[in-house]
């Protein structure tokens, strides 16, 4: 193999690892956090109180994190 072919192979492997890291972080942290934040503010707007809003946000985060780990992470 030439040096250029080896470099392209290394670049492709580096891009693959980078892509997988970004997708893992967004799926396991970003999505549950975004949904928990949405649930928190929705409960605040509906005037359910701060403690119920916090509880709903935390419960949503935990539930969605479990779902993502079980079904969408490889």
Please state whether the predicted TM-score (pTM) of the whole model is above 0.75.
Answer: no
Domain ranges of the chain: 3-71
What mean pLDDT comes out for the span 40-68? 93
Q: pLDDT tens for residues 4-50?
A: 777 777 778 888 888 888 888 888 888 899 999 999 999 999 999 99
Tokens 């949405």 locate to 38
- Contact (CB, 8 A) for 46 and 18: no
Instruction: Quote the pLDDT of residue 23.
Output: 83
Instruction: Quote the pLDDT of residue 1.
Output: 61
Name the token pair of 59. 């419960």
Instruction: Decide: helix, strand or coil at residue 74.
Output: coil
């Amino acid at each position: 193999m030439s040096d250029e072919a080896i470099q392209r192979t290394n670049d492709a492997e580096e891009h693959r690892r980078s892509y997988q890291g970004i997708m893992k972080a967004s799926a396991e942290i970003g999505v549950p956090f975004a949904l928990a934040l949405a649930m928190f503010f929705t409960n605040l707007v509906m005037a359910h109180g701060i403690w119920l809003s916090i509880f709903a946000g935390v419960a949503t985060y935990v539930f969605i994190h479990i779902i993502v780990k079980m079904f969408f992470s490889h």
